[in-house]
Structure 1
Amino acid sequence: MDGDGTAHAALLRALLPLLRGFFRRRLGGSNDDVEDLIQETLIAVHQRRATYDPQRPFGGWLFAIARYKMIDRYRRRGHAVSFDDIGDFADEFAFEEASDARADVNRLLEGIPAKQAAVLRATRIDGLSTAEAASRLGIGESDVKVSAHRGLKALAARVRDSLR
């Protein structure tokens, strides 16, 4: 975004395998379709670069553009989906790849105390009960509850600050 051509070229090279995997998993079709969508997405990333907020996760922004390019492709081809298949079709347009979502979550959790992050991972991400999280982490159940509350409060503050 600062006009560094070397950084821009490095970014485009790094995005190629991510986008290739994203589209191949969803389209399965010809390699030409996948490559066409990659090019359309890279052009859109360049054209819309001013809309990216560096304080927010890049993966969400990138895959939103990729998702809309794929939706446009379906529209151009007149792709229809029956109501019976709508759930499967909707799954094709997941907002982010799981690995990118994990990276974004990891980045957020790195900014709060380690104990709070561990409790949030156990209870909110891994889905453990308070008792299970306490056992896993070797702390009391009340400590899990307090740490979860404080961790969520800290995350909310980080997100709120990033929007200012």
Structure 2
Amino acid sequence: MRESEEQLQAWMIGGLDGDAAAQAALLRALVPLLRSFYRRRLRGGEDDIEDLVQETLIAIHTRRATYDRERPFTAWLYAIARYRLIDHLRRRRILVPIENLEDILVTEGFEAASSARLDVDRLLASLSPKQARAIRDTHIDGLSVAEAASGAQIGESDVKVSVHRGLKALAALIRSNP
């Protein structure tokens, strides 16, 4: 049986106020809701769905102090669930190396790919090494900000600032050299 928004919110508020039974009832009621949410968005992978449900329940428990009692509970719940799903999909991103890619591109008439890469390398060389790496990691290699920060051994905010300033500098450079 699906619980109502009002019931879920009452259990959440009860849990926030220290009622362990309300907190337990809330977590039990959320399991089928979260399973359904993830099944609609993932094909197969029951293990992945169960992992996501558990991760989401942990996130709800650890972030419960951020819940605004005046707002709908399910909006807060599904926002957390969406972020867990996004993190999961990023972790599962599979990179497949393609051997002899340049030869294939030339054969198929995509010679521009090599010159485009040279253009990007030339543009990035005009930036500081930190900015160039941040842009390459996040915008070319597809790393998340957290992954880029970890690889460069700097903070996430430092990566964001480096990307922002680097892109701004590149835009100015491109505008000045049409």
With structure 2 as the length reference, what TM-score do the two structures score? 0.44
Q: Which has the larger radius of gyration?
A: 2
Say which structure, 1 or 2, has more relative contact order (CA 8 Å, 6+ apart).
1
